[in-house]
Structures are given as structure tokens and as C-alpha cells.
């Protein structure tokens, strides 16, 4: 039986099965018994997992902490994923393992969904420096934004956002997380802010966001749906690009890679809404 899975750690609350199963039901494979699983796997478990893939596997959705750790196990890496240094999709075909990055597409589409018609963002701030931050860097770069600030605790390391910026041909301004004045100044002038850090890490920034009118925030966190950062940004008049939209758009491209079929955004969005309603009633 053909199957696919989402891998990472922790993985039990991943919404990928909800999205992919809903998508499959709207394609010809919906009646063919395909299975989409969750597989708990950290970086240390990747070697065993990869070598154990069988001929029925159609793909893996890759989440943290495996997005960068999986790269050495691949035979081919899509040029965008190579430049970003982050893989969130593995496609096995003919014995060849190919890595792709659909996070860039997801971030770009989520941002575009709320950008007012006729406006052209010029400045972006990215909070964080991990795999998702590298994808965010590529996304805002693709949108033509060249004045980009990255806020992080450190910038060193072979998988850092600095290395990704170099491969992408993008110049970034580096701001250390503990430089409160510079962080707040950057946020106050940014047309777009993308937060790629875990929930509550940005809570201390919320009180400093008094006026965000017309500017855009994408917080990739979707549990909780409204972080302190999102609440403050919205209260200041800013526009919100939802982390769930990023999740849906990147999954649309994953489904295309795994099955060859296109699925409408509304199919996955409605599946998430039904899932959330069921979870609420179960509490």
C-alpha cells in the first residue's frame, strides 16, 4: 500500500496528516488506500529511518529538528533547497532520494495573501536564524525585498542564516537578540516581519508595538493561534498573515510533489477547521 509520512520530534501534534489526507480524498488516489503517518524521529534517528524506507513510500514531510540534518542522506537536492540549506520534503523515486523546500513557497504565498493591492514592501525583519528563518529569507528575497534585518542570538555555524544569505546572494543586517534598542527600531520600520521562533519567545516585544498600521506580520506559530506578538500587532493596526496559511500553502506543493495532483487551498483549510472544531468539542 502506498504511504507517506511526516517526520520530526515532537510529532504527535503535527497537522500534516489532516492536510494530506484531506487533499488525497480530492484526488484519484483517495480511493486507493494511501496511508499518511506520523513518525517520531530526531536527527539521530534519521539514518535508520532513511535506510528503512520501502518501495511503497511516496514521500516524507520533514519537520524540526530534521530539516537540515536530513541533507547528508539525500542523493539530489533541489537548487532552492540547496541554497536555503533546509529540506522539508523528501521524494524517493527509482531508488533516488531527492530533497525539496516548499516552506519558501508557503511563506511567500501567506505573505502575498495579505499584502494590499498596489503596495510594494521594501523592508523586512526576520526573527530567528534556524531552518525556517532561512526559508523566510529566501521568500522575502523572492518578493524583491532587499533591505532585510535578521534578529538572532547567534549567527555562526555551517547551517546559519548568514550562510544561506550568501548562497542566495542576499545581503542582511545582523541584530543580536539582546540589543533591545536595535530590535525595537528594526520592528518599528519594517514593512514585513516574519517570526520563526517558538511560541512565547517574542512575548517581551509585544509591549513595544504600539503602531503597526498597514504593516504585515507572519508568525509561523499556529498553536496558540494568537501569540502576544500577533495580538499586539493586530491591536496596533497591523495586518496578520497566519501561520496556518503558510502550513497549507507549503502542503499544497508537497502534495503535488508526492502525488502529481493539485489541490485547492479551500480543501485543506476546511479540513483544518473541522479538525479544530472536533478537538474543541472533545475537550
List active site positions: 67
CB 233 within 8 A of CB 210: no
Q: Parallel, antiparallel, or unpaired for β 89-93 and 192-195?
A: unpaired
CA-to-CA distance for 62 and 110, rounded, in angstroms? 20
Residue 89: its H or E element: strand 89-93
Mark 147-172 as b/e (b = at least 16 C-beta within 10 Å): bbbbbbeebeeebbbbebbeebebeb
CA-to-CA distance for 16 and 176, rounded, in angstroms? 33
How far is CA 35 from each of CA 67, 152, 221, 259, rounded to the nearest angstrom?
A: 22, 39, 27, 12
Residue 103: its H or E element: helix 103-112
Q: What residue has cell string 539582546?
A: 178
What's the DSSP call for residue 75? S
Amino acid at each position: 500500500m502506498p504511504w507517506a509520512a511526516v517526520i520530526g520530534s515532537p510529532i504527535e501534534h503535527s497537522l500534516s496528516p489532516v492536510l494530506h489526507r484531506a487533499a488525497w480524498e480530492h484526488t484519484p488516489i483517495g480511493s486507493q488506500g494511501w496511508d499518511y503517518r506520523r513518525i517520531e524521529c530526531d536527527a539521530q534517528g534519521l539514518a535508520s529511518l532513511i535506510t528503512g524506507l520501502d518501495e511503497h513510500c511516496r514521500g516524507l514531510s520533514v519537520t524540526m529538528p530534521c530539516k537540515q540534518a536530513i541533507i547528508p542522506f539525500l542523493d539530489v537536492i533541489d537548487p532552492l533547497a540547496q541554497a536555503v540549506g533546509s529540506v522539508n520534503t523528501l521524494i524517493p523515486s527509482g531508488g533516488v532520494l531527492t530533497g525539496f523546500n516548499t516552506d519558501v513557497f508557503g511563506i511567500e504565498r501567506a505573505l502575498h495573501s495579505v499584502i494590499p493591492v498596489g503596495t510594494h514592501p521594501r523592508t523586512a525583519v526576520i526573527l530567528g536564524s534556524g531552518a525556517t528563518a532561512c526559508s523566510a529569507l529566501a521568500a522575502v528575497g523572492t518578493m524583491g525585498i532587499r533591505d532585510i534585518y535578521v534578529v538572532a542570538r547567534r549567527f555562526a555555524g555551517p547551517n546559519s542564516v548568514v550562510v544561506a544569505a550568501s548562497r542566495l546572494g542576499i545581503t542582511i543586517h545582523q541584530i543580536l537578540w539582546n540589543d533591545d534598542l536595535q530590535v525595537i527600531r528594526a520592528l518599528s520600520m519594517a514593512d514585513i516581519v516574519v517570526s520563526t521562533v517558538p511560541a512565547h519567545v517574542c512575548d517581551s516585544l509585544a509591549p513595544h508595538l504600539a503602531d503597526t498600521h498597514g504593516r504585515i506580520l507572519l508568525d509561523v506559530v499556529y498553536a496558540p493561534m494568537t501569540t502576544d506578538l500577533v495580538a499586539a500587532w493586530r491591536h496596533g493596526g497591523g495586518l496578520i498573515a497566519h501561520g496556518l496559511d503558510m502550513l497549507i500553502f507549503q502542503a499544497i506543493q508537497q502534495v503535488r510533489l508526492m502525488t502529481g495532483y493539485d489541490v485547492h487551498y479551500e480543501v485543506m483549510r476546511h479540513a483544518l477547521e473541522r479538525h479544530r472544531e472536533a478537538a474543541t468539542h472533545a475537550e
